[in-house]
């Protein structure tokens, strides 16, 4: 558990590649085996049964980088992986994604015996309805005004979470602005992950400079497996 927790310790910086198992392309992995990519996240809102395990096994043969499962529901848990990011969708009020799905996952976690990292997950409005919004039947938080977001982040802190993921939604029209990341960084002392709508080098660097510890890229790689190679070097 401690080793997985330490991976996300504050002041570490790097790219996290989000792999949707239903859209898995081995070429993406071959093109992201660079020092700027720190790890892979595997998961999606809704997936075919068994596809997560297939992709995890493929990743193990293609890369030595850490792999963390980012499960959308109880059907997405499998081995091999370095750990599981256990997302609690605190931006919404759907009990299934605050505790219900986690209760269903608990018996499987006992069997898998993988490190589990509880993660506060906040969905922000990225300009279009995201798969997370649709599947969870929740509304994202607005990026302005920032009061509700600030209060939600503080609540996550007081609830004891030590990892926070700000998400604009896969393929978002608008990524999370630097001023929003800066606002969260000022009140959140632990590791911060930012993702959604990040399509170019300037947006990646802006997120890091604003205070993100980790930046997630996914849809851009699905559209162009060479995306990361075109970015290098990042010089973070």
Residue 193 bridge partners (DSSP): 165, 214
Both tokens assigned to 171? 């393929």
Whether the predicted pLDDT of 54 surpasses 90: yes
Q: State the pLDDT at residue 231.
A: 77
Q: State the pLDDT at residue 3.
A: 66
Stretch 137-150: mean pLDDT, rounded? Answer: 96
Give the Cα separation of 184 and 176 in Å (integer): 11
φ/ψ bin of 147: left (φ > 0), alpha (ψ from -120 to 50), beta (otherwise): alpha
Whether the predicted pLDDT of 9 surpasses 60: yes
Stretch 164-183: mean pLDDT, rounded? Answer: 94
Q: State the pLDDT at residue 150.
A: 98
* Spatial CB neighbours of 61, under 8 Å, sequence gap ≥ 6: none
CB atoms within 10 A of CB 41: 21
CA-nearest of 227, 168, 220, 197 to 23 is 220
- Between helices 178-187 and 147-158, what is the axis angle to 10°? 40
Stretch 121-148: mean pLDDT, rounded? Answer: 95
Q: State the pLDDT at residue 47.
A: 79
Q: Which CATH class is domain 2-6+15-231?
A: alpha beta
Specify burial of residue 111 (Cβ count, 10 A radius: 0-12, 13-18, 19+): exposed
Q: Which of 47-51, 98-102, 116-120, 143-147 has the lowest mean pLDDT?
A: 47-51
Q: State the pLDDT at residue 100.
A: 98
Tens of pLDDT along 104-124?
999 999 999 999 999 999 999
Whether the predicted pLDDT of 53 surpasses 80: yes
Pairing of the two strands 14-19 and 37-42: parallel
Whether the predicted pLDDT of 217 surpasses 90: yes
Q: State the pLDDT at residue 219.
A: 87
Q: State the pLDDT at residue 2.
A: 52
pTM over 0.75: yes
């Amino acid at each position: 558990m401690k080793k997985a927790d330490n991976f996300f310790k504050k002041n570490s910086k790097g790219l996290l590649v989000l792999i949707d198992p239903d859209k898995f392309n081995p070429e993406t992995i071959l093109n992201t085996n660079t020092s700027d990519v720190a790890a892979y996240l595997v998961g999606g809102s809704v997936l075919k049964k068994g596809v997560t395990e297939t992709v995890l096994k493929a990743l193990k043969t293609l890369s030595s980088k850490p792999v963390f499962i980012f499960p959308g529901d109880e059907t997405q848990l499998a081995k091999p992986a370095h750990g599981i990011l256990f997302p609690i969708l605190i931006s919404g009020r759907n009990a299934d994604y605050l505790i219900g799905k986690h209760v269903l996952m608990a018996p499987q976690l006992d069997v898998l015996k993988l490190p589990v990292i509880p993660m506060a997950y906040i969905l922000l409005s990225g300009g279009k309805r995201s798969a997370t919004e649709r599947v969870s039947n929740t509304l994202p938080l607005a990026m302005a005004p920032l009061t509700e977001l600030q209060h939600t982040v503080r609540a996550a802190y007081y609830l004891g979470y030590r990892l926070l993921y700000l998400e604009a939604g896969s393929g978002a029209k608008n990524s999370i602005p630097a001023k929003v990341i800066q606002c969260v960084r000022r009140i959140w002392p632990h590791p911060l992950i930012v993702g959604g709508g990040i399509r170019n080098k300037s947006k990646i660097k802006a997120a890091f400079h604003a205070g993100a510890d980790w930046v997630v890229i996914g849809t851009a790689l699905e559209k162009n497996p060479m995306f990361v190679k075109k970015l290098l070097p990042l010089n973070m």
